Structure 1
Amino acid sequence: MTIRLRAHHLLCMLTYVGKGYTPAFTAGYDRIAERLSRGEEIVIVEGPDDVCAPLLGEAEPHCFNESVLERDWQAARDVGDLLGRRIGVGERIAPDALLLARLRSGFAAGLTRTACTGCEWTGLCGAVVANGWSGVKVGGPPC
């Protein structure tokens, strides 16, 4: 199987520690985190993805907001620059230990955080980095 992720979720997955918008969202993300940790392939999509799925039944899911689409664009650009490759719709990525370590290093250094500006989870993500990635559910802390 393949995990469908929008570009900014390449950043969110790095600091995911089991907190989320709703219990259904968190349960779904936990399942996705397990799959990512097993190295299941990611395909980049435009708009709502597998992480967003539990929120799509809300009256006005934020997943469609222009600000979220902008977040995706910024994340794709920054992650692509960090990895030296294009990150766009249809791109396939293997979330192996080397990739996660490179993404976490860039995230900790602030190289890929443009997309995080204005995000309500920024404080939590900063705390996860400050605590040495303790408790992350995708791939575990870097060596």
Structure 2
Amino acid sequence: MFRLRGHHLLCLLGYRGMGYSREYVENMTQLHHTLRTAPETEVLLVAGADDLCEKFPEFQTCHCDDRNIHERDAAVLKRLNLQIGQKMRWEDMLQRIGNNILSKDIGTLCNTCSWRSYGVCEEGIKDIKAGKGLRIIG
């Protein structure tokens, strides 16, 4: 089981192998690969730092506890009608995302995200809606 915060549910859809450090990328790639190849994996929704935040580089200013990040988490969970402490299989999470989030919603839900300009999260939402699942990270 992986512990994930609200907005990371969407980050995983747009993940393309980029990140804050080599260790962060390795961790996110492994987690992403597991969810892609074993979609029955359970996810526990948490408030604050999760299994991805754990590998945020110490040499950078950590944003994991910034107010806007918590607000982003809350907005995503509200849109998905999910609660902190809830457990769900990743494949069920993808179905819920596909049913409740449009690619254009990224502009609102993730308006303060520095990665948004790449457009990959919108692509990820479209992939989920098309039934493609997570992309292979090569």
Report the TM-score when normalising by structure 2: 0.77
What's 1:84 paired with? none
What's 1:91 paired with? 86
> 2:2, 2:43 within 8 Å by CA — same for their partners in 1?
yes
Which whole-Å CA distance do the structure 2 matches of 1:65 and 1:120 have between them?
A: 14
Segments of structure 2 that go 5 or more residues without pairing to the other structure are: none
Whether 1:34 and 2:23 are equivalent positions in the alignment is no
The count of aligned residue pairs is 128
Q: Give secondary structure in 2 for the equivalent of 1:14.
A: helix
What's 1:83 paired with? none
Which whole-Å CA distance do the structure 2 matches of 1:113 and 1:105 have between them?
A: 18
Kindly state the Cα deviation for residue 67 of structure 1 after the two structures are TM-superposed.
Answer: 1.0
120-129 or 65-74: which moved more? 120-129
What's 2:13 paired with? 14
What's 1:45 paired with? 46
> 2:24, 2:57 within 8 Å by CA — same for their partners in 1?
no
Q: 1:72 to 1:140 in 2, by over 3 A?
A: closer
What's 1:79 paired with? 80
Report the TM-score when normalising by structure 1: 0.75
Segments of structure 1 that go 5 or more residues without pairing to the other structure are: 81-86
CA RMSD of superposed structures (Å): 2.6
Q: Give secondary structure in 1 for the equivalent of 2:119.
A: helix
Kindly state the Cα deviation for residue 55 of structure 1 after the two structures are TM-superposed.
Answer: 1.1
1:94-121 per-residue CA deviation (whole Å, 9 max, x = no partner) reads 111x642552464444346532112111
